[in-house]
Amino acid sequence: MLSTVTMKSYSLAEVAQHNTRSSCWVVIHNKVYNVTDFLPEHPGGAQIILKYAGKDATGVYDPIHPPDALEKNLPMEKHLGPLNDDAAGAEALAQESRPRTKDELRVEAALKQRLPLHRILSLTDMEDEAKKVLSHKAWSYYSSASDDEITKIENAKAFSRFFFKPRVMRPVSRCDPSTTILGYKSRIPVFVSGAALAKLGHPLGEENITRGVASAPLIQMVSSNASLSYEQIISVASPNQVLFFQLYKHADNSIAEKRVREIERLGYKAIFLTVDAVVPGNRERDIKSPWVLEDAERRSTDAPRSSEDIERDEEEGNTFGTAGALIVNDDRDMTWETTIPWLRSLTKLPIVVKGIQCVEDAILAANAGVDGILLSNHGGRQLEYSLPPLEVLYQIRRRSPQVFDKLEVYIDGGIQRGTDIMKALCLGAKAVGLGRPFLYAQSAYGAAGVAKITRILERELITAMQLAGAVSVSDLTPELVERVDWQPTIRSRL
């Protein structure tokens, strides 16, 4: 408190002088920061910061950083102080009078034309609405996947190969789809799988999800890369609400330890250790997103480029898109022998390995004594042509069903319908995770949207269970499903 008294305030002109790699200041929320020394450490690369050297960077900073990012990463002596009043006013004015881009105008109009929520009947309806109101950047980040996005499609398509053998003449008037996940009650066998950067889609970000799943309740897994602080998120949870934490382990064990201790202290109930994202996937649509916008704004009268300009390859520091930057410092050398014992030694929280992609690793995980595994290929965002999680689940069922006795098995990727959930449970999954659908729902309708899709999934699952002759998750056995040998029609909006 006292320190602020002594703080100098800055004019825009002063700030503007520090616009080089050797002296780089930026303004965020009317505060001036000296980020010169931080440039080489910035996970997103120096380039993106230098674009705003000597200027206000609030607009690009906000949606992808939790508010405590600066505190955590920038030494206090680099927090130079506030803009002076003139500067702040000028900045506000500039911001206000800034002409809107075509994309911003599109989003503004779309927000007014959203369907009333009661017309949203399915997760696909929700995605359709979200697509309309999301900025191109957010849509690209949320919806994109690796390379040609085959894996993302195949994740969903895998469900179409499993048909039901429904049983009739069984009493189903009382049907309860609830279950437990790591011992915690869940209204339906569904949880929110870690999905980063919710603020890209809605100003309230991950809070929407926390509030939206409260009434069910469903369990929310919060990503290390959330756009709110872990504390902010859990602080809006209702008293008995359970949150898990998706850990991206920092390469530096001491930094990683700090994060584990923090989330344990905050009350998160389990750790999902992410193992399928040691390097960033090649999400081309995400990387191309700024160019698409640039082209949209470009005047057709712009002069053609010279051959030299065209052929000079300006490789930028960060070609990973929004996503890649987030994991630049993560541990790429984890092993079963070292990482799991290290984590066990730090915390009593249950440990789930997130990102198992074959039977062999499922067995190794069981042997390593973890509490659960999440069969996942990161929604198709990491290794292109990784087997669909449902196929891995099916292979475990056929070749190593003992795995199901040793730990809880979850899957995520491609789930859109109650029948998808039921298929996964029939094959042995304890619960399924959904990521993108929750991001879409909160983007389009905030917490109300999140609550809506939990109700949709519950309704769809109950209907499916009753029509299959099942009244509880224990009735969902492998005998109810059959993998067919033909190529079924796939959903038109897959």
Residue from 377, 442, 443, 454 binding a second copy (CB under 8 A): 377
Per CB under 8 A, 301 contacts a second copy: no
Q: Which amino acid is at 369?
A: G
Residue span binding a second copy (CB under 8 A) among the ranges 29-37, 219-227, 287-295, 432-440: 287-295
- For 360, residues 6+ apart whose C-beta sits below 8 A from its C-beta are none
- Of residues 164 and 217, the one with the C-beta less far from a second copy: 164
Alpha helices (runs of H) in 18-146, residue ranges in sequence order: 46-50, 58-61, 69-73, 85-97, 102-112, 123-133, 136-143
95, 178, 235, 335: which one contacts a second copy (CB under 8 A)? Answer: 335
What residue has token string 């209907």? Answer: 463
Q: Output 117 or 236, the one with its CB closest to a second copy.
A: 117
Catalytic site includes residue 142: no
Query: Which of 97, 314, 345, 474 forms a contact with a second copy (CB under 8 A)?
Result: 314
- Which residue among 141, 142, 248, 394 is the active-site one? 248
Binding segment toward a second copy, per CB under 8 A, in 152-160, 190-198, 263-271, 434-442: 152-160
Binding residues for a second copy restricted to 8-67, rule: CB under 8 A? none
Helix (H) or strand (E) holding 372: strand 372-375
Is position 202 annotated as part of the catalytic site? no
What's the CA angle centered on 278, arms 151 and 406, to 5 degrees? 80
Indicate the helix (H) or strand (E) that contains 431. Answer: strand 431-434
Check binding of 328 to a second copy (CB under 8 A): no
Residues 406-425 that bind a second copy (CB under 8 A): 417, 419, 423
Given candidates 298, 299, 312, 348, which one binds a second copy under the rule CB under 8 A?
Answer: 312
Does 78 bind a second copy (CB under 8 A)? Our answer is no
Min dist. Cβ of residue 62 to a second copy (A): 20
Residue 342 found at the interface with a second copy (CB under 8 A): no
The stretch among 45-53, 85-93, 211-219, 456-464 that binds a second copy (CB under 8 A) is: 456-464
Q: Which of 1, 6, 58 is nearest to 27 (CA)?
A: 58
Q: Is 29 an active-site residue?
A: no
Cβ-based neighbour number of residue 348 at 10 Å: 7
Q: Taking CB under 8 A as the criterion, which residues in 173-212 touch a second copy?
A: 173
Query: Could you give the residue ranges of the DSSP H alpha helices within 169-320?
Result: 206-212, 230-235, 253-266, 284-297, 307-311
Task: Give the span between the Cα atoms of 38 and 132, in whole angstroms.
Answer: 37
**Do the beta carbons of residue 165 and residue 194 sit within 8 Å?**
no
Residues whose CB is less than 8 angstroms from the CB of residue 175 and which lie 6 or more positions away in sequence, other chains included: 462, 465, 466, 470, 471, 472
Taking the complex as a whole, the smallest distance from the CB of residue 283 to a second copy amounts, in Å, to 10
The catalytic site residues sit at 248, 276, 378
